[in-house]
Chain A
Amino acid sequence: MTRHKKKRTELSIRIFQLIIILLGLVIMGRLFQLQILDYETYEPLSRENALRQQNINPARGLIYDRSGQLLVDNKPIYSITITPSAYEPKKTPLLADLLGVSEVEVRQRVREARDYSWYRTSRLFTEIDFKTFSVIQENIWQLPGIGHQVESKRHYPVDSLQASHILGYLREVSKEEYLEQQHYHLGDKTGKTGLEKEYESQLRGEYGTEYVVVNAMGQNLGSYQEGAIDEAPEKGANLHTTLDTELQLLAEDLMEGKRGGLVALNPQTGGILSMVSAPQYDIRRLSGRIDSDYWQKINTDPDNPLFSRASSSRQPPGSTFKPLMGLMGLELGIINQNTTIYNPGYYSRGRRYNDLADPGQYNIGKAIQESSNTFFFWLMDKIVHSYSIDRWNELASSFGLGRSTNVDLPNETTGILPDSTYLNNLLGEGTWGIGDQLSLGVGQGFLAASPLQMATVTAQIGNGGYALRPHLVHSISQSDGTVHYTDSDTTKISWVDSQNIDVIKNGMRRVVTTGSGRYYANLDSVAVAGKTGTAQNPHGEDHGWFVCFAPVDNPRIAVAVLLENSGYGSISAAPVASLLVEKYITGEINRPHVYDYVKDFEPKTEDNPDE
């Protein structure tokens, strides 16, 4: 080896060593940058990586009846959740196998969850049985991105009580609601109808937050710092309703197999004691996981069981409107209790308006008792002649017709209470005449109201003219113990004179003692006052109405019953209402023949002279 070579070799090695030291310094510099200079950047990153904020679902508020009987509570259901970002699609066969469903379904649901959010956890399967849930729990380590959750569904402890249109059902929030409101998470349920919807914000409570340690697969490894920074969920508020469970059970029983709606309320407070729409749907089958066959069925049923006839149907009130008509006549000074007109069997005004009541002399009391059309055609004629239809509208409106009753239920109808503007819009200015207005006087024509509105009108006559707000919830108790009362004060309807109202009440009493209500509504136990009605139905059999309150002097209950296509109210709706009154006042039913009659009721169509 030459000297030159040796020198070169040594130099080469020196250069190598130098390069190594330089590159070593580069790495050192990089480490210094990452670990010392950028520590503040990476330290929170690693903490966020390992910590996940989770929501704890609050327990939804309970619903009680007027006596403290629990109507709605919660029952645990078991769910499987997914965090799409951590999920491994190749685990789909295993997951499908453990759940006992097809791979296609799992894939479909995973896709849906992914469409909602890649990072947020959403429910994959809800309401799986406890055994399957346990199997998933045991195998969760094999299933990155899959989690489990115990939630609750609505449970109805009173057997056979439906009250489906009152209580309402919950459905998972739609994508729109989810995107709109920060409050909801995918898979959360929200009230869609009834009290569940109306009081959603009180019932749902507030989410709690817990911080859990997770690994890169999204698996939950337990609480962080033993829950020191967790926040407990706030339980939803409980609703105390005015509902009378016994009465509601009877009402549902009586309405079974019929179509129509009924409302019973407390004339002193407006608290709804019972409310039924028939047919109704099975509220238990809409709680928890949706039974899609059943959902399909009730949505396509021509009888539309999802429709709340009691609060939303619009039918002409027929003769049940006559007591209010009479009251308006008295108050406007057109008649007094002795004003008598002759009924030849029709009312003649351009043409003959038919009257089924016997010909003879009629004052207001007798006109109500016998439901004479002639008297009320005449009275309506006088009102629009001396005043105007708008004055008539104003007075009727103050009793709750043609406008919302402000009941605490969604989708309430306002009904129709025509005024000149309405008729102008509908028929054209100047083209409507006395005929269109006269029929309003007997509750026909364009007039339309719901059973809820008619119950309210009747209750307000019964209580001597005090305006009510019908309602279901009388108090809300928050989870912290504070109770908030929602009852509103009743106020006297300003134009009503109590002497006049007694005349009307007297007439309504006579309906039951000697008029068309005498067959089924005249109770020995309590003095009932009422009015039958028949709503003309151009599409088929007429609808039967009956409204009543009892006892006459200081009523404790007011009822309105509408039975669709059942013909005369006196034989269809009246027995239903009277059974409710009897049950409510006496606590039992002493007329089994009436009960059996109602249960076996088939609409009859023969002429009834009293109508």
Chain B
Amino acid sequence: MYTITLKILNPRQRTTPMSNIGEYNWPLTTLWVGLVTIGLVAIYSATQGPVAEFLPAYIQVNFYKQLISFGIALMLIVGLQYVSPRTFREGSYVFYVVGLLLMVLTLIFGREVNGATSWLVLGPLNLQTSELMKIATVLAVANYLTSQRNLSAENLKTALTTVLIILVPTVLVFMQNDSGTAIIFLALIPVVLFWSGLPYGISLFIISPAIIGYLSIIAWYWGLAAAVFLTLLVFILQRRTWLTFTSFATGILLVIGVQVALFQVLQPHQRARIEAFTNPSFDPQGAGWNIIQAKTAIGSGGLYGKGYLEGTQTQLRFLPEQWTDFIFCVIGEEFGFAGAGFVVLLLTGFTIVLLRSAANHKHPFAQLVIVSVAAIYFTHFFINIGSATALIPVIGVPLPFISYGGSALITNTLMLGICLNLDFHKRQFSIYR
């Protein structure tokens, strides 16, 4: 798959994977297995349950395809532990460039699925190149930032280069018309900058537009309140007049901009789509349909759910894309608050444990890689479940490890495998640091 040779560990080295097996991150692996298993259970219901009779055969087989992907992912995660951790750092730029090339190829030759041109067909292999690009970008950014002499984003040039490394693939993803994935890339920017030493105030300033924008769609006064509150917070944290002023001006402009966009620029149907998450009944047959059905599925699940394979919303095909983007609704409907809450707990726990392994690591490259990966996962979690529960407008991203999708499962596992590798081999880092 990759153009560079992998450095396989010398079995006679002092620490082999087998000798320090106790240092392997078993809790994280267990959580991963748990999440994929839950995914398989839900995908089975969504594609093989009574609903199967309304689904074309190529959708019904998704469960088995996911099962095979799980097998491949399992081998991948084991195989990755035999790779030298240096490989990821040394190959990062190569991965990045190759990834960008694949993205461009996808843009030209790619296959369109659901309006997004994100699939590249290479012989028998169907690659969602933007998924691979996430890892390549994470590695490249981590390598770049940690090889700077003063490891800091306070240095403007460093910060801008970092942003650029992330923005180039983001633009390509946007051009592929996959806005969901583009948002994931964008979410990386504040995370890596903040981690690498960006002052709190500035970090807050960077993420504040997202918060203000979100609240402005719900109601302009909420947006205004958020703008005032966040500016105050920025001032307390940073105490710089120009930053405070800029923050406030940006906030106000955003609130006004959102109102103008909603009521002047956007066509009524486009506005309906955005507003649908605050008021789905506004357009029950169009944009609101998915949201109403998703909320109905989750809400009607109650405390313990309707029972496995017995969710009417799921089995009677009321849910859109129930094996990918709306898989959480299947869990919510059939297993209720108990099941859905458990999944949220697992997902949160998984991210926390992953972040803990970063905290325990001594090497900044590994730390940044793990933090970035954790950020990518959690952004996915939050956007996916937020969409399904109508907390945010519907943005089509899969739920990592749970949604159907071989390419996504394997690349997400690849990221996890790298994190596990870096964590597993953390003693080796001192050697080549």
Which stretch (A62-70, A208-216, A509-517, A574-582) binds chain B?
Answer: A208-216
What sequence of 0s and 1s flags, for each residue 195-218 of chain A, a beta carbon within 8 Å of any chain B beta carbon? 000000000000000000111110
**Chain B residue contacts of A9, Cβ below 8 A:** 195, 359, 364, 367
Which one, A12, A30, A216, contacts B318 given CB within 8 A?
A: A216
B300 touches A46 (CB 8 A): yes
Nearest neighbor of B337 in chain A, beta-carbon distance = A35
Q: Is A36 an interface residue (CB 8 A)?
A: yes
A224 to chain B, nearest CB (A): 11
Which one, B299, B316, B352, contacts A41 given CB within 8 A?
A: B299
- Known contacts A35-B337, A41-B299; decide if A46 and B344 are in contact (CB<8 Å): no
Q: Is B398 an interface residue (CB 8 A)?
A: no
A12 touches B195 (CB 8 A): yes
A31 touches B348 (CB 8 A): no
Residues A116-149 near B (CB distance < 8 A): 141
**Chain A residue contacts of B301, Cβ below 8 A:** 35
Most chain B CB inside 10 Å of its own CB: which residue of A13, A36, A43, A216:
A13
A24 touches B195 (CB 8 A): no
Residues A1-49 near B (CB distance < 8 A): 1, 5, 8-10, 12-17, 20-21, 23-24, 26-28, 30-32, 34-36, 38-39, 41-43, 45-47, 49
Which one, A8, A16, A42, A47, contacts B295 given CB within 8 A?
A: A42
Which one, A21, A26, A45, contacts B299 given CB within 8 A?
A: A45
Q: Is A221 an interface residue (CB 8 A)?
A: yes
**Chain A residue contacts of B336, Cβ below 8 A:** 35
- Known contacts A27-B386, A43-B299, A141-B53; decide if A20 and B348 are in contact (CB<8 Å): yes
**Chain A residue contacts of B378, Cβ below 8 A:** 20, 23
Interface of B is mostly: helix
B332 touches A31 (CB 8 A): yes
A371 CA to B386 CA in the complex, in Å? 99
B297 touches A35 (CB 8 A): no
**Chain B residue contacts of A17, Cβ below 8 A:** 352, 355-356
B316 touches A216 (CB 8 A): yes
**Chain A residue contacts of B371, Cβ below 8 A:** 12-13, 16
**Chain A residue contacts of B303, Cβ below 8 A:** 35-36, 39
Q: Is B151 an interface residue (CB 8 A)?
A: yes
B313 touches A49 (CB 8 A): yes
A43 touches B300 (CB 8 A): yes
Nearest neighbor of A1 in chain B, beta-carbon distance = B364
- Known contacts A39-B299, A45-B300, A215-B318; decide if A31 and B340 are in contact (CB<8 Å): yes
**Chain B residue contacts of A388, Cβ below 8 A:** none
Q: Is B298 an interface residue (CB 8 A)?
A: yes
B316 touches A16 (CB 8 A): no
Number of interface residues, chain B, beta carbon within 8 A: 52
A85 CA to B348 CA in the complex, in Å? 40
**Chain A residue contacts of B382, Cβ below 8 A:** 23, 27
**Chain A residue contacts of B385, Cβ below 8 A:** 27
B355 to chain A, nearest CB (A): 5
**Chain B residue contacts of A5, Cβ below 8 A:** 151, 197
What sequence of 0s and 1s flags, for each residue 16-51 of chain B, a beta carbon within 8 Å of any chain A beta carbon? 000000000000000000000000000000000000
B426 to chain A, nearest CB (A): 14
B341 touches A28 (CB 8 A): yes
Nearest neighbor of A34 in chain B, beta-carbon distance = B299
Q: Is B69 an interface residue (CB 8 A)?
A: no
**Chain A residue contacts of B340, Cβ below 8 A:** 31, 35
B374 touches A16 (CB 8 A): yes
Number of A-B contacts defined by CB within 8 Å? 136
**Chain B residue contacts of A217, Cβ below 8 A:** 54, 317
A216 CA to B315 CA in the complex, in Å? 10
**Chain A residue contacts of B351, Cβ below 8 A:** 20
What sequence of 0s and 1s flags, for each residue 269-307 of chain B, a beta carbon within 8 Å of any chain A beta carbon? 000000000000000010000001101111111110000
Number of interface residues, chain A, beta carbon within 8 A: 43
B54 touches A50 (CB 8 A): no
B335 to chain A, nearest CB (A): 10
Which one, B293, B296, B358, contacts A13 given CB within 8 A?
A: B358
Q: Is B130 an interface residue (CB 8 A)?
A: no
Which one, A12, A45, A213, contacts B194 given CB within 8 A?
A: A12
Nearest neighbor of B51 in chain A, beta-carbon distance = A215
Which one, B151, B296, B341, B344, contacts A49 given CB within 8 A?
A: B296
Nearest neighbor of A4 in chain B, beta-carbon distance = B197
- Known contacts A23-B382, A35-B299; decide if A46 and B54 are in contact (CB<8 Å): no
B195 touches A28 (CB 8 A): no
A580 CA to B194 CA in the complex, in Å? 108
**Chain B residue contacts of A20, Cβ below 8 A:** 348, 351-352, 355, 378
**Chain B residue contacts of A79, Cβ below 8 A:** none
B54 touches A34 (CB 8 A): no
What sequence of 0s and 1s flags, for each residue 329-358 of chain B, a beta carbon within 8 Å of any chain A beta carbon? 000110011001100110110011001101
A319 to chain B, nearest CB (A): 72
Q: Is B389 an interface residue (CB 8 A)?
A: yes
Q: Is A219 an interface residue (CB 8 A)?
A: yes
Which one, A12, A24, A219, contacts B348 given CB within 8 A?
A: A24
A26 touches B391 (CB 8 A): yes
Residues of chain A touching chain B, judged by Cβ–Cβ distance below 8 Å, are: 1, 5, 8-10, 12-17, 20-21, 23-24, 26-28, 30-32, 34-36, 38-39, 41-43, 45-47, 49-50, 85, 141, 213-217, 219, 221
- What are 23 pairs between A and B in contact, CB < 8 Å? A14-B359, A16-B355, A17-B355, A23-B378, A24-B345, A24-B347, A31-B340, A34-B299, A35-B298, A35-B302, A35-B303, A35-B337, A36-B302, A42-B295, A43-B302, A46-B299, A46-B300, A49-B293, A50-B318, A214-B316, A215-B317, A215-B318, A217-B317
Given contacts A34-B389, A35-B336, A38-B299, 18 further A-B contacts (CB under 8 A): A12-B371, A13-B359, A20-B355, A24-B348, A27-B385, A34-B299, A34-B332, A35-B299, A36-B302, A39-B299, A45-B292, A46-B312, A47-B312, A49-B313, A141-B53, A215-B54, A217-B54, A219-B54
In order of increasing CB-CB distance, the 7 nearest A-B pairs are: A42-B299, A24-B348, A46-B300, A215-B316, A35-B337, A50-B312, A42-B300
